[in-house]
Structure 1
Amino acid sequence: MDTAAPPERPRARTPEAVAPAPQSYAPKRSPATSCTDEISQVEPLGLAVTYWGVGGADAEPSHDVAIRFTGSRVEVEGHASTEKVGFDRTLVVKSRPAAGGRFAATTRIQGIASGEWEVSARRIDGGADSSERQQNSVLTARTALLTYGPAVRVWSWPALVAAGAVVALIVQGFLLSRMDANVAAAVAISALSCVLGYIGAKVWYLILHRRPISTFIRAGACIQGFLLVSLGTLVIGGALGGMDVGAVLDATTPGLFLGMAIGRPGCFLAGCCSGRPTRSRWGLFSSDRTLATRRIPVQLYEAAAALLIAGVALAAVLQVDLPVGGLVFLGSIAAYTLVRQGLFLFRVDAHTRRGRLTVSLICCAVLIGVLAASQVLS
């Protein structure tokens, strides 16, 4: 007997392949495990690539150093269009570092993709032997706020300057409390003058270096602008408040220079106002944020001078019965300015000789006048 074939089971439909939805690429970041890790991932990211070398064998620096820095991101599968995954930059350091001294030349790369980078630094001016001519390394991108070369601790500057300002206000308040003065009002005016002085210091920097106002936040700061604006604010505020301006300035002077003695080493650590490269044993390894080598530590010399002036001013305010208010202030400012003119000779950015001579003569005249007035009026 014929039997019917069993009905054929319907075949399961194979679903049509669906193309995955396009996804935008975001660079992978390592998970942050601490506050420091969080800060290190703040954009824009960057690298500080350094070439280490040794100065020549002759007695004096003779020519420029040219270094080519190249780099590429490790294992890039895709990248956002706004991020760099490679760079090629040539750095020229004016005047070779002091003979026989070890140096580090650094270039900063910003706005790059996260992750590890293979970088290379090659000296192309022919001034190095084959063993040190090219240097390769692997670096990890981190926030550009922290990417600096050797011997640069950029955050030490605001920390020490702020500490110096606090100490200056404390010393000023102590000395004013020994006088018949409104301590609270004077200290409040001084605190305001510090804030305005900081703005004045940055504006002075912009004018001196001919920078646009759009670079105000990133610009440096000059002590001349700070002193001019802060002391001007103190004088005007004291006069409007009915204070003895001369006595207030004298009471402010020891704290002012003690604060400068505390803050000035921040310039040394942060790599600004740098001294000239030197072979002297008195030189210290420091940087101008591009070239780290043995330099004359002019910032520390200036801090020592400020400390000495603060001590003399404090002794004068406490021990000497001054006939006229303001003599301690004028003498201290003149002495400090005179010291700075001498130290400019040892700085990389030495000012004009004619300007230094003129200012030095004026300071000497002021010092002589202060000494004469203190003798005649006493």
Structure 2
Amino acid sequence: MSAPLKIVVLGLSLSSSWGNGHATTYRALLSAFVARGHDVLFLERDRPWYAAHRDLDPTFCRFALYQQVADLEAWRADIVAADAVIVGSFVPDGIAVGRWVQEIAGGLAVFYDIDTPVTLARLEDGDAEYLSPDLIPGYELYLSFTGGPALRRLEQVYGSPAARPLFCSVDAETYRPLDRPKRWDLSYLGTYSEDRQPTLETLLLETARQAPHLRFCVAGPQYPDSIAWPANVERLDHVPPAEHPAFYSASRFTLNVTRADMIAAGHSPSVRLFEAAACGTPIISDVWPGLDELFIPGEEIALATDAQAVLDLLNAPPEVGERIGTAGRARILGQHTARHRALKLESYLRQALATSAVPLSAPSEVSAYAEI
């Protein structure tokens, strides 16, 4: 049996899922990692908007808040002693944090990018405030939410010694089908995003206008008051993670909408995609490269580009949605649970530790979803 690993994670948030998908990603991954006998310390910058919406007191790992970069000195000994220190995307003052970690870490310095397409776009524009091009070669391992060509770009253009896919996942014990009355015919769960809104307008709001007899829901914070919601669209400002399974289970179908940068990059599955599928809820998704490597279209997920396609699915016999939901859940349980990702993270870390500064084998010929 290999020795347990000790890691320190400096991430955007573990304690609050408000307005971000990072928290649920870290919760699923790290709780499964700890369950394998490893030790985790998570350090989170204390921000007022998260402090006002905390929905978890982490008990599966050691957890602490800090106020500013200089406060991290209190955990210097932990960072020096750790087998790996993982810095996440969108960490406040992430460039300063990354430089400090690379200077003092006794083990691996690792970057975990939960926003790879956004990061690459910002690097191109020179405004990625949490990562600079000169830092990338200093991270022995670059873990990415995005697979495919983005990995090669990180290695060949930005000099990453090893860029590897580590997609989001789901805690299958928490996200499971629940016996709930169907409250909505189609739901959507996600924070407002300007570049997602046109697709939401096309696939959900326009569908709602064309089908006033059906029930819809859009859940998530930060939607502007200027949006004209159809009368049959219910709005929920925030659904905490503990209530996600009930939310999905109350939906005949749920919608997946992808940000423009992630569509352009491809191979960028959202955590909501995994969570909804694990609950057995049939998903209607927009279309992007690599999605067909994750689910079989028409069997495990439904695809739509306009309101009519959505209406056709909502008006189909009930067994159509039930079949898609059952098959989608089976796919998630077989390949995309938190346990699968924890095993992959452990494998990456052990291989990088064993090879030290030697680059890992190239990922270019490996499927973006070859996680197990």
The TM-score normalised by the length of structure 1 is 0.29
Greater relative contact order, per chain length (Cα 8 Å cut-off, separation 6+): 2
Which protein is bigger by CA-based radius of gyration?
1
